[in-house]
Amino acid sequence: MDRIARLLHSATKASRILEIGAGYCPVAPKAAGWQTHVVDQAPRDALRQKYTDASVDLTVIEDVDTIWQSGPLHEAIPASLLGRFDLLIASHVLEHLPDLIGFLNSAQQLLTQDGAISIALPDRRFCFDYFRPAPTTGALLEAHAAAHVRHGLRIAWDQTAYAVTIDGALAWGQHPVGSPSFVDAFSTAEGVLRQYTKDPGSLYADYHVWPFTPAGFKLAILELGQIGAIDWHIASLHGPERFEFFALLVRGAKPMADAAALQACRMALLREQLIETAEQAQFAAGQNPGTALASQQASLVRDLQATVAAQRQTLQEMQQVLRWSSAALRPLRVLWRSARRVWAAR
């Protein structure tokens, strides 16, 4: 399945689609008959000017229906459209957002009850984020609590100081790689440090703030859902494919059966992140990940499957207990109603 088909999921031409940051690569172009509401940071003419030197087809940049530059997304969209969209498409958007939790919460107000969020994200192991540390749930929570609308100094420094290319490419894929080269000189990072300002009126500077891997993204969405920060869960995740992976989020945070099951799932995902790092290290050493790594990944999959099976069994047992309890209490409820009638008649 190609990336466009993955991002469109099960959408049809009758689906109402909200596409964020389509730029010069729309997934569901209105010109092809899709019922798409386009959200971007600037009008079409400004976007065409922005990408003039990018060697892309400027004619595919479409009219922008809503310009969104700051604040909650749902406040930028016309109120008459809230709760009307079937699918929100965000291809290489989430990694840029200062407040990712706020974006996911806005999506709840934009989509129908059965609506979904279709996402493409770069895998930091296979793009210029190569040396960036993994984002944590704590960092996501901190950004949301501070209601970030622009990137902090740490993010500006980290991307400028540590972004790399391999063989001149900003993104590559899952294969042995050569020696990385810095994108910017160290003096450029020093310049960012000297010029950085918190002035809200200053020019907005865009960076990758959330350089996820698949396991890291799964862990963040799981933990955010468990604490009630968002009301979404991952229905499917594919990849990485080349330098990106794809996820479909649907409504509902899916609580774990018990605390032990949650801890087991979290630990499995943390271990999976270590395996992802080991895979990156093997590619860096000019090797393809070996049988041992594949065996570890298979073991993790078995652990997760066992956890899910245990949860399902626990839920079934709880449902059985509830049915038994309801049946056992039924005669008592009849007696209680009769007693109340007698008492009321006195």
Domains for the chain: give ranges and CATH numbers: 3-149+206-255 (3.40.50.150)
Separation CA 223–CA 229 (nearest Å)? 9
Lowest mean pLDDT among 2-6, 198-202, 271-275, 315-319: 315-319
Which residues, other chains included, contact 154 with Cβ-Cβ below 8 Å and sequence gap of 6+?
Answer: none
Decide: helix, strand or coil at residue 289: coil
pLDDT of 205 over the 70 cut? yes
Residues 25, 60: contact at Cβ < 8 Å?
yes
Please write the tens of the pLDDT for every residue from 48-75: 999 998 889 999 999 999 999 989 999 9
Q: Which residue carries 């080269």 as its tokens?
A: 181
Please write the tens of the pLDDT for every residue from 64-120: 999 999 899 999 999 999 999 999 999 999 999 999 999 999 999 999 999 999 999
Question: Residue 210 CB: number of other CB atoms within 10 A?
Answer: 24
Residue 43: alpha-carbon gap to chain centroid: 26
Q: Which long-range CB contacts under 8 A does 284-287 form with residues at least 24 apart?
A: 284/177, 285/176, 286/176, 286/177, 287/176
pLDDT of 300 over the 90 cut? no
Residue 51 has a pLDDT of 92
Instruction: Dig out the tokens for 187 from the structure.
Output: 């003096």
